[in-house]
Every structure is written in structure tokens, then in C-alpha cells.
Structure 1
Amino acid sequence: MISKLRNAARAFACLLAATHGTVAVSMAVGAPVLLGAVGVASDFAVFTMKKNKLQSAADAAALAAARELSVVASGSGSAAKASASLSGGGPIEAIARTYVATALPDATTTTTGVTVDGAKGAVQVTLSDAWHPFFAHFLGADITPIVVDARAELVGESKVCVIALKPTGAGALSMTKNAHLEGKGCSVYSNSTNSQGISLSTGSSITADLVCSAGGVLNKGAPSGTPVLTDCPPMPDPLASRKGPTVGACNYSMTIINKKTVTLSPGVYCGGITVMNGSNVTFSPGNYIIKDGPFIVKDTSKIKGKNVAFYLTGLLSLIQFFDNATIDLSGAEDGVMAGLLFFEDPSSTVLRVHNIRASNAFNLTGTIYLPKGNLMVDPAAAVAQQSAYTAIIVNKLTVDNGPSLVLNTNYGGTSVPVPDGIRASADVVLSE
């Protein structure tokens, strides 16, 4: 189509050249020729603008639809299995069409075609716009409709180790002061569409199968790590539909363990739990509801527990692990909290800050789910390095002050199940 417009422009130019030296030709003849040349050039500019806009819409729609395909695949255990079951469209096609409609709200002459290729795990979006150029049309240049294609495919499969859910603002995922994040065999996502959605300061790095930002990345001199892909589709919260345990009446109030060795039982801990002054606490298997108070472990105190989960609800229900405390916890193996280690009430207010600053927080097996909270990890020591697996889904994640946050994916090394949407997700790329 572009060549046809160029040919039309050349035809006008030749006609103009033929008339240039002929004194007998009046300005009445020359003026329309000049006007036509300008008109064809105008058609060419409009054509280019329209095609670029259509291509951007098609690319975004294909990526978004394929990303949804990868999320469905993660719940099915196999990208091929899920994509095959969705061949023919359905919700995947609807997502693509919605993206096109959002990107081109006034495109009344545009038609959308969507093909879901189950065998290859791909989505193809074709846009056709029946634009009618004014001048090129009179020349008989057949340059309409404008047609663009975009094809996005699932490439490989990667487990999820971090999702920063914050949709806007700088530093949804922030690495500062020589901090390092290592995702072993998994992917790291920032959903912020800000141009600085991921922030890497001097000496900091992220190493993972995939590091993806819905916006951009601010690199202030970080050493080589995994290159950050930008403008990725936001990763949907795979735990958005999870329901927390029933919160009943208080079983315990203002629980403070001071210079003691004790075993605690599951229940509702109103006013929180504080472990201090070298205490040793063992948590019996079950669910612990931390209500209207913090969960504090500090100085040289130690806590441990297997098949345990902590639900944080109400005012000031925050994780606060400090100093040289030792944290050795493995999440729930069954029940409503299965797969979870920490679960923040989704109705909590935003901007609450949870702190893992303990220098011996070596085992955090399970999923840390803080959909409204900001998680600060900064003990200047390795964190979670002995966990079979750790997945972090939070509003905002900051790794600060030189720690190494190690997120393993040895799912077979623990009885803690992996929630749907975390075990595997296919990477999405534009193939055409």
C-alpha cells in the first residue's frame, strides 16, 4: 500500500515536471497539479499515522490475550493443555477485542479478527480499516483497506516468584543500596505502568528467568543482571479470589513472650504477638489470626513452625521481624490457607509497611501475600535462602541495604502446596 501511494506521488511529480518548462501552460493547469502532489503527500502521512496506530493496538491486544492464556495455563499445569482447551476464542478472544476497543474508541471503520491457536499457544489479532484516501482514490490507487497483524506466543514456562501489584508510581519494585534479588527458575513482575516502575540503584541487581515491567526501568548503575523487559502486560493477581479464614472472637489478647521458651496454639491473637529478649517460640500447626496488632520478633529471639499460616487483619496487623532474630517457618499444607505463609486481609488499607529485617530469616517456605501492603526486606543478610520455595505477591517490594533475597522454586522439597497461578506461567513474546 505504501508503494502505491509513493507511485501516485511520483506520477504527480512527473506531470508537474512535464509542465514546468512549458510557457504555454497556464497557471490554471499547473496549480491543480501542484495541489494534487500535496494531496497525495497528505494521504501518505495519514496512511502512515493510521497504520502505526492500528499496529500498536494490535500488538497490545495480542500480548494481553496471550498473557491471559499464560495465566490460564499456570492453573492448568501446562501451557499447551490450557491453550488447546481455549482454541476458538472465548474469553481470550474477548480480551483481545476489549483491548482494541479501548485503544481505538472512535474507529468505526475498523474490523477485528482474533485467532487463538491452541496447538502453538498463540493469539493472532488482525485489524482492517476501510479508510478512503481523497486524492490517491482519484488516481485509482488501491491502497485500502489498511490491514495489520500481530501474533503473540507463549514461549517456555516460568514459575512466578515476585509480583509487585502496584499499578502506578515509581519503584513498585525497588532495589537499593547494593541489594540483590535472586529468583531461581522463576519470573519477577512489576505491574506499575510508570516509566520507573522498576528501580535499580548502584550495586543492586535482579537475576531471574524473566524480569518484566509493565512500565519502564530506572537503572542508576546496577551491575549486569537479567535485562528488564519493558511495556509488558500487567500480571493479574493469581490470588485475588482467595478467601481468608473466618475471624472469630479473641482467643488471646496482647500476647507478649519475654525471655521464655513456649509453644503457641492456633487461634485469634488480638493485639498481636510480640517475641522478645531471646525467647524461643514454637508455633503448633494451624492458622494464626493476627488481629489489630503487629507480629513482632526481635533481638535474638527465635521462632519456628511447620504447617502454619498467619492471617493479618485489622489495625496495625503487620509483620515486624528485626535485629538478629531467627525465623524458621513453613506455610499451611492444607485447608483455606493452603500454600500461604502470610496472608494480608485484602480489605486492609494501602501503604502499610511490613518489615523483614531479621538477619536470620532463612526459612520462609510458602507464599507471602500482601495485596495492599509494602514489604521492606533489608537485614543486610541473605533472606529465605533455605526455603524450599518462596513466592512474594505484594503491593510494593523494596529490597534495601545490601541483603540477598533468594527465592527458590523447589516445589517437590516441601509439603506446602503451590497456589494456582504461581507454579508456572508462560513468557509472552510478539512473534510478528
Structure 2
Amino acid sequence: MTGLSNRRAWGRFRDDQRGGVIIIAAIALPALVIGAGVTIDYGLATRDRVIMQAAADATAIAAARELSNGHLTDQRLIEVVNGFANRQLEAHDLKVGNAITARITNSNRSVEVNIARPMRNSFPGLLPTMSSGIGVNATATVVGNQKICVVALDSASSEAIYIKSNSWLTAQDCNVYSNSKSPTGVKSDSGIRVTAKLMCSAGGYSGSGEFIARKLVDCPPVDDPLIGRPAPPAEACKAQKLSVIDKGSANARHVLTPGTYCGGLFIGGNSVVKFEAGTYIIKDGPLVVDSNADIRGEYVGFYLQGEKTTFQFLSNAKVVLDAPKDGPLAGLLFFEDRTVTAGREHMIKSNFVSNLTGTMYLSRGTLVVDATNEVAQQSAFTLIVVKKLYLSANPKLVVKSDYRSSAVPVPKGLGPLGGDPVLSQ
């Protein structure tokens, strides 16, 4: 009887599966919880990424708008970006854990904003934290009608731009920048006049004079906009230490053709010279246009190669030059060898240098304008990128920005700058 009872009890236990269901459910529950948590976390991550991207976009535009106003220091960039981005994120309950960074790029035309944060964890201690986190970025670029027309690249000199005595610098509808962080990076004397939309110094100003411009300090330096521009290819010498003296006339100019002029090129006496369109490499000697010489060149560019190569326009020399439309020096009137010793002087001493349409790129040298009259006043536009700019005595350097009236191209990185920020794709 006892055996029968035991068999019946065992049968009931074998047929009753309720205990097994409970055991299986207990085993499966953690996996179900983890799966639900992962689903929730990735859903939140998707939502957070959308919010973060919108915040990054809006923040980049806000910072670029500050940049378009011409005054966005590193400190101000941090203030603008952190304040704006955090307000956007806090409005969507993303208050903590945000890593926000920003930088100015593209020769001071763009602001890049990055926002990162860890993924949310619905069950801390149970689910592993996603170490990769969430990251978004946005770049806003200033586009519109602002223009850079003068840049002094020297970052340390006490006189990156020196405007002396009664000199005038007139930058028509464009901006002048000094990269020097010295408190006297821009130096001036009484009697000077600077006219520009914006005069911006990374450091400060010393001296006196009249500034008809929005005058700012602590400006972010302008990266060399032509640093990636390659030098023209080397060629065999076309001439050695060529001197052109007492040749040509107003009705029959003496003609020079493109090529490499080794040992320099001297144009003197009463010579009246025409440069045919193209690239002129002046190598291991100066380019000198002496008193009473008269030169003209349409679509010509000069590459100044070697330690001894500078240009000099001396008193009463008449100079009318337009940079090339195309070729290795497209847009460049002068291009200084980047390997030479810094500090060499390129001189404009003549009162009759009326047209210099194009870009003067002298990244290692000082452009000295020591005339007593207007210089470059008939140019369609003149862009100046130099290590230093020095206006001596009382010249009136006129830097125009009428790009549309000339076929000479404006090199990338110069010319029109921002007004309205737009998101870059």
C-alpha cells in the first residue's frame, strides 16, 4: 500500500510542471531585463544624439556669428560655446556629463563645435556602461561681404605693422589684421590715418593717430592663407644679371618675356618696358626698377627666389602691374621664397606706383612703403600678406577690394569673408 501511494505521489509531481515554469522564469528574467535595458538605452541614445546635434548646430552658428563680427578670442569662444550649448542641452534634461569643445578653423572663417557625453544607463550596476559614448560635431562658416585685405603674419614683433609720421593706410571696404601678440604689435605716430572696416590686432596698439575703423584687440591670429600654395616649377636660366637701360619708348616699349632671370633683373635709365603675360622667376638677385624707368605688365607674376632676391621700386619709377589670370602664380603679383631668411625688405620708394592689382605674398619679408604720394590707388584690388608692413614718411597706401572689376582671381583664403554663418556640409 505504501508503495502504491509513493507511485501515485511521484506521478502527481511528474505531471505538475508549475515548479518548472517558475524555475525557467527565474533563469530567463535577468536576460529579459538586460535586453529591455539595452533597448531603452539605445532608444535614449538615439534621442540624445538628435538633441546634441541640434545643439551643436545652433552653437556653431552662434559662435560663427561672433566670428563674423571680427572679435572672437579663445576665451570668448569658450564662453559663447559653453554657455549656448549648455542652455540648449539643459532644455532637454541633458544637464550633466557633457564635454563641449570648439576651435576656430579655415583661416578664421569657421567654428567647429564638438559635443560628447556617455550613453545613459537604465540599470546602473547591472548593465555595463557603453564606453564609446555619444559624439556629434558641427561646423559653421561665415560667408558674405567681409574681406581681408592686409595681414601682417609676424606673431611676436613689437612692430608687425608700423605706420610712421604722416602715412595713410586706406583699406577700402576691407579689414586689416596684425597677428603679433605684442602689446605694441601695431605702432603708429601722430599724423597717421588708418581707414578700414576693421583694424584687428592679436596684441595691442601703441602711439597715436587717427583710426577710421573699428579698432579691436585680442583678435585671433589669421593663419597664413597661402601656406599651401606651391612655388612655380624650376626652369633653366633665361638670362644672367640682365640690365635693361635706355631701351624702348612710350610708343614702342622694350619687351621682356617670361622665364628665369638669374642674378636678378635691373631696369634703369629711361627704359620703357613691357612684361609679356606669364611667370617671371627672379633668382639670386634683386628685381630693381630704377628712377625714371617705366614698366607695365598685364597678367604677370614674379617669384622671388633666393636670399638675394627682393624687389625695389625706386624714386620716380612708373609701375603698372596686374597679376596673372591663371598658371602657377594666378592671382599673385609677388611670391617670396619661403626658405629665405626672415626680415628682408621689399621697397616701394616711388611716387608713381599707381597699379598693383593682385596679391603681394611676402611671408618672410617686410614690405616698406616709403613714398610721398598715393600708392596702388588705381588698382582694382590689392591684397597684402607679409611678415611685416612698414609705412615710412608720408605715403598714402590705397588697398582696394573691387574684385569684380578685374579678371585677376583672388587667392583662396583671402578676399570675401563672412557676414552670415552657414552650416558646412
TM-score, normalising length: structure 2: 0.66
Taking the aligned partners of 1:413 and 1:280, their CA distance within structure 2 comes to 27
1:338 equivalenced with 2:330 (yes/no): yes
Identify if the C-alpha distance between structure 1 residues 251 and 420 changes in structure 2 by more than 3 Å, giving closer, same or farther. Answer: same
Q: Secondary structure at the match of 1:412?
A: helix
Q: Secondary structure at the match of 1:372?
A: strand
Residue in structure 2 matched with residue 201 of structure 1 by the alignment: 189
**1:249 Cα deviation after fit:** 1.7
Q: Does structure 1 retain, via aligned residues, the 8 Å contact 2:143–2:417? A: no
Q: Does structure 1 retain, via aligned residues, the 8 Å contact 2:345–2:367? A: yes
Residue in structure 2 matched with residue 57 of structure 1 by the alignment: none
Q: Deviations over 1:219-264 (max 9, x none)?
A: x220242242000000111111000111222111101011111100
Residue in structure 2 matched with residue 18 of structure 1 by the alignment: none
Residue in structure 2 matched with residue 353 of structure 1 by the alignment: 345
Residue in structure 2 matched with residue 251 of structure 1 by the alignment: 238
Q: Deviations over 1:343-391 (max 9, x none)?
A: 0011121011100111100000000000101110111110000000100
Q: Percent identity?
A: 40
**Map of 1:154-169 to 2, 5 A cutoff?**
157-169=145-157
Taking the aligned partners of 1:412 and 1:353, their CA distance within structure 2 comes to 31
Residue in structure 1 matched with residue 172 of structure 2 by the alignment: 184
Task: List structure 1 segments (4+ residues) > 4 angstroms apart after TM superposition.
Answer: 65-70, 121-128, 152-156
**1:110 Cα deviation after fit:** 9.9
Q: Does structure 2 retain, via aligned residues, the 8 Å contact 1:202–1:221? A: yes
1:269 equivalenced with 2:261 (yes/no): yes
1:242 equivalenced with 2:234 (yes/no): no
Specify the code of the residue in structure 1 equivalent to 2:176.
V
Taking the aligned partners of 1:249 and 1:381, their CA distance within structure 2 comes to 39
Specify the code of the residue in structure 1 equivalent to 2:212.
G
1:382 equivalenced with 2:374 (yes/no): yes
Which of these residues, 347, 364, 371, is aligned with residue 363 of structure 2?
Answer: 371
**Map of 1:71-82 to 2, 5 A cutoff?**
none
1:400 equivalenced with 2:384 (yes/no): no
Taking the aligned partners of 1:376 and 1:110, their CA distance within structure 2 comes to 54
Residue in structure 2 matched with residue 171 of structure 1 by the alignment: 159
Instruction: Report how many aligned residue pairs link the two structures.
Output: 306
**Map of 1:65-214 to 2, 5 A cutoff?**
66=64, 112-114=99-101, 157-214=145-202
Specify the code of the residue in structure 2 equivalent to 1:230.
V
Q: Does structure 2 retain, via aligned residues, the 8 Å contact 1:374–1:394? A: yes
Taking the aligned partners of 1:174 and 1:67, their CA distance within structure 2 comes to 30
The answer for unaligned runs of 5 or more in structure 1 is 1-60, 71-91, 98-108, 129-151
Identify if the C-alpha distance between structure 1 residues 394 and 115 changes in structure 2 by more than 3 Å, giving closer, same or farther. Answer: closer
Q: Secondary structure at the match of 2:404?
A: helix
Specify the code of the residue in structure 2 equivalent to 1:182.
T
The answer for unaligned runs of 5 or more in structure 2 is 1-58, 69-76, 83-95, 104-109, 118-139, 249-253
1:323 equivalenced with 2:310 (yes/no): no
Residue in structure 2 matched with residue 414 of structure 1 by the alignment: 406
**1:209 Cα deviation after fit:** 1.0
TM-score, normalising length: structure 1: 0.65
Root-mean-square deviation (Å): 3.2
Specify the code of the residue in structure 2 equivalent to 1:417.
P
Taking the aligned partners of 1:246 and 1:234, their CA distance within structure 2 comes to 31
Taking the aligned partners of 2:161 and 2:394, their CA distance within structure 1 comes to 15
* Segment of structure 1 superposing worse, 404-413 or 155-164: 155-164
Residue in structure 1 matched with residue 383 of structure 2 by the alignment: 391
Q: Secondary structure at the match of 2:365?
A: strand
Q: Does structure 2 retain, via aligned residues, the 8 Å contact 1:164–1:397? A: yes
Residue in structure 2 matched with residue 216 of structure 1 by the alignment: 204
Taking the aligned partners of 2:154 and 2:170, their CA distance within structure 1 comes to 21
Q: Deviations over 1:107-128 (max 9, x none)?
A: xx99641479xxxx87779999
Q: Deviations over 1:160-208 (max 9, x none)?
A: 1100000102110110011111111111000000001111111112111
Which of these residues, 212, 218, 225, is aligned with residue 225 of structure 1?
Answer: 212
Specify the code of the residue in structure 1 equivalent to 2:339.
S
Taking the aligned partners of 1:123 and 1:253, their CA distance within structure 2 comes to 51
Taking the aligned partners of 1:126 and 1:396, their CA distance within structure 2 comes to 39
**1:66 Cα deviation after fit:** 4.4
Residue in structure 2 matched with residue 300 of structure 1 by the alignment: 292
Q: Secondary structure at the match of 1:182?
A: strand
**1:412 Cα deviation after fit:** 1.3
Identify if the C-alpha distance between structure 1 residues 427 and 412 changes in structure 2 by more than 3 Å, giving closer, same or farther. Answer: closer
